[in-house]
C-alpha cells in the first residue's frame, strides 16, 4: 500500500488514532526485538516514551473528546 502524502486536514482524532496504533505496534514488536538483540532496551523505552508524549500532546491540543464530555 502506498503511503498517503501529508494531509494538513487530518483531524487530531485521526492523528491520535494513528499514534495509538503505532504504540500498539511498538508494544508488540519492541520486546521481541530487545530479546533478539535487534534493539537495546533503553532505546525501546525511549521511543515508546516519546510516542506516549506525542499522544499526550495531541490529546491536550484536541481537548476532551465527545465520549469524555458525555462522562462529565
Listed residue (30, 65, 68, 62) closest to 49, CA to CA: 30
**pLDDT tens-digit profile of 19-57?**
999 999 999 999 999 999 999 999 999 999 999 999 999
Strands annotated E in 9-51: none
Question: Model's pTM, two decimal places?
Answer: 0.78
DSSP, res 72: -
**The predicted structure's pLDDT at residue 27:** 96
Exposure of 39 in the CB half-sphere (CA atoms within 13 A): 15
Q: What is the pLDDT of residue 71?
A: 63
Give the number of other CB atoms < 10 A from CB of residue 5.
Answer: 5
Amino acid at each position: 500500500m502506498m503511503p498517503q502524502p501529508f494531509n494538513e486536514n487530518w483531524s487530531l482524532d485521526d492523528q491520535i488514532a494513528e499514534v495509538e496504533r503505532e504504540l500498539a505496534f511498538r508494544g508488540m514488536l519492541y520486546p521481541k526485538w530487545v530479546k533478539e538483540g535487534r534493539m537495546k532496551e533503553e532505546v525501546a523505552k525511549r521511543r515508546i516514551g516519546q510516542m506516549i508524549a506525542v499522544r499526550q500532546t495531541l490529546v491536550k491540543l484536541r481537548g476532551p473528546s465527545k465520549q469524555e464530555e458525555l462522562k462529565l
